[in-house]
Amino acid sequence: DPSAALRQGMIGLSKNTKVRDVVEKAPVSKDVVKRFVAGTGTADAVSAVRELDGHGKLATLDFLGEDTLDKAQAIHTRDTYLDLLADLADAGLTDGGRVEVSLKLSALGQALPQDGKKISLDFARSICEAAAIAGTTVTLDMEDHTTTDATLESLAELRKDFPTTGAVLQAYLKRTEADCRDLATEGSRVRLCKGAYSEPASVAFQDKGEVDMNYVKCLRVLMEGKGYPMVASHDPRIIEIAGSLADKNLRAADSFEYQMLYGIRPKEQQRLADAGNRMRVYVPYGDEWYGYLVRRMAERPANTMFFLRAVTGK
Ligand code: FAD
């Protein structure tokens, strides 16, 4: 399957630090990046979500970064989230969870050789505390399958004190239907996405059709359950099915939400919001945009061409 090969290659590129350094330094990249990334600093992030809020959309902010093996970097990530939450609260954007934050435990040191899991959990806990003070909450992004158990364990710990902390489950993983059953409980927020990493056949469906089918199966479990489903997809078929599953389960418009990425299908985002749905936009910001962007390219070759043309000036 050529698109699978391209995806694999692109994801490989996302780990190549030489390529990353060249691309990050290409001046023109900055303009292209703007389409998908809200800027580099906290002020940029706050102004992007203020604009979304003005148009009736919810947001979740992601300070870009992942896979750190440097404790100082993990501390910097934690502190950036703490500052961000204070600024969002000052701007009046956090009450009722209108703007929340998404965290990657790997950016908070989950893979540090010494006590990584504990450090990332402690840092995530501080961010959950700051979010609660600001009147909002946190969602733990899900990364590659080697971290799923650790991330779900950390989630369970955080939910003891901060029960609204959200989980992410990935429909490409074979285990996910069972995880959905476990998490489809009262007060539990679960973002369901297809999954963005390159995973082996032993744990993940490789065929797009199978991933889509599993997405629908998992979504059915979440919509029938007692939790709060967060439908993270740009796929028109998935969005339509989500609407009918919500109707079938007599779900009120405020008992689930749609989620899409910043810069992807913005008109559809507005249409869903204008129709009275809860629509949350995932807004990444910061300097470390390379891995994030390469995953978006891998999903959509049209974006890749757009990006490469701009980088090479052709
Ligand atoms: P795809 O299968 O990529 O696309 C299906 C259809 O959607 C396309 O055929 C097209 O009709 C439409 N479409 C897609 N992209 C575009 C576009 N650029 N322009 C126009 N139409 C388009 N992944 C993780 O692994 N962990 C996470 O924590 C995580 N969090 C996420 C949070 C949010 C809010 C979202 C939206 C995604 C997240 N993802 C995460 C990424 C996700 O797993 C997918 O990789 C990504 O969303 C692409 O899948 P898709 O469902 O949009 O459908």
Residue 73 lies in a domain: yes
Q: Which of 237, 235, 223, 290 is nearest to 261 (CA)?
A: 235
259 is in an annotated binding site: no
| Residues annotated as part of the active site | 141, 191
How are beta strands 58-63 and 257-261 bridged, if at all?
Answer: unpaired
pLDDT of residue 24: 65
Residue 54 token pair = 């003005």
What's the CA-to-centroid distance between 161 and ligand 1, angstroms?
Answer: 31
Does any domain span residue 255? yes
Burial of 90 (0-12, 13-18, 19+ CB in 10 A): exposed
Which structure tokens are listed for 197?
């990493």
pLDDT, one tens digit per residue, over 59-112 is 999 999 988 999 999 999 999 999 999 999 999 999 999 999 999 999 999 999
Q: Which residue has the tokens 């959990």?
A: 121
Residue-level pLDDT at 314: 47
Whether 49 is in a domain gets the answer yes
| ipTM for the predicted complex | 0.98
Q: Is 223 annotated as a binding residue?
A: no
- Is the CB–ligand 1 distance for residue 269 below 6 Å? no
Average pLDDT over residues 149-172: 98
- Is 74 known to sit in a ligand binding site? no
Determine the Cα angle at 196 with ends 299 and 14, to 5°.
Answer: 80
Does the pTM exceed 0.80?
yes
**Positive/negative CA dihedral, 66, 202, 260, 279:** negative
Residue of 194, 214, 303, 306 best suited for mutating to test ligand 1, as the one with most atoms within 8 Å of CB: 194
Q: Which residue has the higher pLDDT, 21 or 295?
A: 295
> Could you write out the DSSP letters of every residue in 140-166?
E----GGGHHHHHHHHHHHHHH-TT-B
- 274 CA distance to ligand 1 centroid (A)? 21
State both tokens at 157: 């710990």
Q: Under DSSP, is residue 271 helix (H, G, I), strand (E, B) or coil?
A: helix
- Given the structure tokens 């502190």, which residue do they identify? 79
Question: Which ligand 1 atom is nearest residue 259's CA?
Answer: 34
* Residue 285 CA, distance from chain mean position: 12
Q: How large is the average pLDDT for residues 135-148?
A: 98
> What is the 230 CA–ligand 1 centroid distance (Å)?
13
Rounded Cα distance between 180 and 165, Å, is 15
Report the relative pairing of strands 279-285 and 189-193 from DSSP bridges.
unpaired
- Domain assignment present for residue 23? The answer is no
Segment 202-229 mean pLDDT: 98
Chain-centroid distance of CA 302 in Å reads 21
Lowest mean pLDDT among 19-28, 81-90, 200-209: 19-28
- CATH code of the domain in which 156 resides: 3.20.20.220
Is 77 a member of any domain? yes
**Total number of domains constituting the chain:** 1
Sign of the C-alpha dihedral, residues 47, 50, 51, 57? positive
Could you tell me the residue range of the domain that residue 206 belongs to? 37-288
* Residue 137 in domain: yes
Q: Which of 243, 184, 173 lies closest to 206 in space, CA to CA?
A: 173
- Residue 156 within a domain: yes
Determine the pLDDT at residue 66: 85
Q: Is 279 in the pocket of ligand 1 (CB under 6 A)?
A: no
Residue 148 within any structural domain of the chain: yes
